[in-house]
Amino acid sequence: MTVLRNDFIKTVIRSCRQYSVLCKSLYSYNHLIKFNNPVIINTQRWLFWEKERKGGYDTTIKQSNWEHIRNGFKELKNELKLFAEEIKELIITDPVLISRPGEVDLLWLFNDANVLDKFVTTSDSDHNEGFSTCSLDMSPAGRAKFHGYLDTKVPKDGKIKKAGYCGMRSKIIRKSFKRASTYNWHLYNTLVLKVRGDGRSYLLNISCEGYYDITWNDIYHYVLYTRGGPYWQIAKIPFSKFVLGSKGRIQDKQNRIRFDRVTHFGISCGDKIVGRFDLEIEYVGLEFDPTHEEEFAYEMYKTDKYIVGV
């Protein structure tokens, strides 16, 4: 009788392992009846939430409580100044209600080294997942220069399957006392960049992190093609052309950008071409084009709910 019971539990577990709640119940039941062959189930199977915004990459600097208190008092003076500036801006500043057609409102003008402090760079070598390197510096022409070396060689650790990634991304904007904020681009419909590239294809990324963990990795992508010559080029890209992805995968259910939820802007290089890359950037701005009336460029196909939840 015991043999039949064990065989039955084995069959149920093999067929239902994909269902997290049932697996967790069977795992508890296995300990209760002291089953001969223990069932090893990864705890990640029944986790439907993201533990952290970095998706498993722990980049936080470990500090003691005393260090947090000491650093907090050092920043208190600057935070009070920033709070005073916010109050002054709220009283005096006249908000922009209308964006004039053909006029580019600059987000970042890379004519000063201090502007580079608003961005961070990352590559696969930072997480021991590859050998690519990158940096963001001032070019001889006095503009931002995103450059480095792209290497698709895969580390021999038995886990990593693909490598070759470098990227730059803006830091999250914060108000006084470290309050996180977002960009509001509802007056515009076009992204404008003035760049000088090397002939490679780069990926423009606009992050729209929401409140819930399922939206933490929502990023809109569009490919930027560079000429590779000595001349500057101005790229005007409608927001309707950006496609929604999550963790590098294009989503079946598409929607347009939430203009009031933009948290980051970035550029990444990962075209699988080994060698050096060099992208010079003069400015990144926004524009309202009245001739562009397209809401979203991609068709939405009705699919069955058992294929994708739409």
For 16-60, how does the pLDDT look when each residue is reduced to its tens digit (9 = 90+)?
A: 444 444 444 444 444 444 444 444 444 444 456 677 777 777 667
- Cβ 211 vs Cβ 50: under 8 Å: no
Residue 199 has pLDDT above 60, yes or no: yes
- Tell me the per-residue pLDDT of 71-107, one tens digit each, with 9 for 90 and over: 887 888 888 888 888 888 888 777 777 778 888 999 9
d(CA 53, CA 45): 19
Closest CA to 268 of 149, 141, 145, 169: 169
Q: Which amino acid is at 122?
A: T
pLDDT tens sequence across 139-191 = 999 999 999 999 999 998 888 888 999 999 999 888 888 888 888 898 999 99
Structure tokens at 85: 């500036």
What pLDDT is stored for residue 154 in this prediction? Answer: 93
Looking at residue 155, the DSSP 8-state letter turns out to be P
The answer to whether the beta carbons of residues 281 and 143 sit under 8 Å apart is: yes
**DSSP three-state, residue 51:** coil
Share of the chain above pLDDT 70, in %: 80
Contact between 276 and 149 (Cβ < 8 Å)? yes
Q: Quick one: tokens of 134?
A: 């990158």
Q: Is 150 exposed, middle or buried (0-12, 13-18, 19+ CB in 10 A)?
A: buried
User: What residues contact residue 122 under an 8 Å CB cut-off, 6+ apart?
Assistant: 134, 166, 167, 168, 169
E runs forming strands in 29-183: 105-109, 119-123, 133-138, 144-150, 166-170
- Could you give the CA distance from residue 187 to residue 217 in angstroms, rounded to a whole number? 24
Identify the three-state secondary structure at position 271: coil
> How many C-beta atoms lie closer than 10 Å to residue 156's C-beta?
7
Where do the H-state alpha helices sit in the chain? 2-16, 20-33, 65-92
Closest by CA position to 265, among listed 108, 99, 103 = 108
- Beta-carbon contacts of residue 100 (< 8 Å; ≥ 6 apart): 288
Question: Cα–Cα distance between 107 and 124 in angstroms, integer?
Answer: 28
The dihedral of CA 104, 105, 107, 112: what is its sign?
Answer: positive
If you search the block for the tokens 């569009």, which residue do you land on?
A: 222
Instruction: Return the amino acid letter for 130.
Output: G
Instruction: Give the pair of three-digit tokens for residue 62.
Output: 């470990």
Q: Band of the pLDDT at 10, cuts 50, 70, 90?
A: low
Give the largest Cα separation in the chain, rounded.
83
pLDDT, average across residues 282-291: 94
Average of per-residue pLDDT across 1-15: 52
Q: How many CB atoms lie within 10 A of CB 13?
A: 19
pLDDT of 4 above 70: no
The residue among 265 and 24 whose pLDDT is bigger is: 265
